Structure 1
């Protein structure tokens, strides 16, 4: 059976991605910083199981412990979905940003994803059809007319910079792994209603945003590598 691990899957789009993968017959392992939250989410999804330890992707020891626990329990990994990211500060601009807060954001969005990938890549290499999906954002794009750099006058600076860096990480990782079975891509799920009332501001339900992530997680062996997509369509960055 195909096994997937989804970070920050106790709620929001992470939970919905886990649910949709489970419906396809994938055995999904849910992670959260609090293992009790992961366990609660797993109870809501047929075919899901909770990681027995909390996973804080900003903490190396936490990620190393999780990778060992995963190896001991499941032995290999087929799909890694790096969904966890720092919460964006919508009012932050580059000239006025608190750099300590910006560093913390990048520690999660970029280096947390990087850390998870390094820790779980040995388990992915044990799979015949390994996939890595980095959940990114059009906010990290020069060309996205909806959410890209020019649209919001430099607001949410750390979020945009972190996602642009995540897209770059995706591209260079895919290049390194180009002669292996590991397929790596980044996906922008679009503005998604992860908090009550967000639909009123144009966010779409998680049920509509998750399929693009699931698509990248279930690509065939000749699928695209190192790309950036929204709703299974290429997106410039």
Structure 2
């Protein structure tokens, strides 16, 4: 049975992704900062008929928490097949470039960028033991420099000095990581689930969590002939679904 760790998975898109992967027969580690809340979510899922889901405490901004989670997965599975770096925060708005404090920007980067790097580096050893390792970094269209430079883009006016820049940095890191692992059977991509109505954005997005989760899964459960180091977006209206960087 393949195993997957999803960070920030106790609600919204992360939770829906966990549910769908459980249905597909994977063992799911439901990453949560609060284990008590995570266990409550898993208990509810079990009552709904979902199996092979376990809550695991992991705060992506705390190295001790990350290593403790890694040790649990290693003891129970011996390896990890899929890592979905889903945990993220938006920060407070507005986020003007001229006056958003360094403290606020650093707080967002600690989760959205440095947190992803910390988790990925910690679990890389276990992922290398998988025959078909996959790393999916969950990003946003707001991290695309090309789209942000296009006045005709529908979200052109949505600029954010913390959130958008953290996702742009994440995209850049993913390219470097994918290149480094290119000789191994890894597939490392960034996936934008699209502008989705969640708690994260006060349910303002037009997309559904079901669509978002299915899109993440589509570009995570890929075969060895699939591309690596790409940026896939649920908001791209063509069949390639490849977003400009």
Partner of 1:33: 33
Secondary structure of the 1:233 match is: coil
Distance 1:28 1:195 in 2: 22
Indicate yes or no: 2:195 matched with 1:187. Answer: no
2:64 counterpart (45, 48, 61): 61
Indicate yes or no: 2:242 matched with 1:234. Answer: yes
**Contact conserved, 1:42 with 1:48, CA < 8 A, in 2?**
no
Equivalent residue runs for 1:136-151 within 5 Å: 136-144=139-147, 145-147=153-155, 150-151=156-157
Give the deviation of 1:57 after TM superposition: 0.2
Give the deviation of 1:50 after TM superposition: 2.2
Relative distance call for 1:60 and 1:164 in structure 2 (3 A) is same
* Displaced runs of 4 or more, over 4 A: 196-199
Cα-to-partner distance string for 1:50-76 (whole Å, 9 max, x where unaligned): 244x21101111111111121112211
Distance 2:200 2:73 in 1: 33
**Contact conserved, 1:35 with 1:50, CA < 8 A, in 2?**
no
**Contact conserved, 1:134 with 1:170, CA < 8 A, in 2?**
yes
Cα-to-partner distance string for 1:192-225 (whole Å, 9 max, x where unaligned): 12129955x3432201111111012101011110
**Contact conserved, 2:140 with 2:167, CA < 8 A, in 1?**
yes
Distance 1:21 1:146 in 2: 32
Indicate yes or no: 2:7 matched with 1:7. Answer: yes
Distance 1:12 1:173 in 2: 27
Aligned residue pairs total: 231
How big is the alpha-carbon RMSD for the aligned residues of Structure 1 and Structure 2? 1.7
Q: Which consecutive residues of structure 1, in runs of 5 or more, have no partner in the other structure?
A: none
1:130 counterpart (113, 133, 140): 133
**Contact conserved, 2:22 with 2:53, CA < 8 A, in 1?**
no
Q: Which consecutive residues of structure 2, in runs of 5 or more, have no partner in the other structure?
A: 148-152, 235-239
Indicate yes or no: 2:213 matched with 1:220. Answer: no
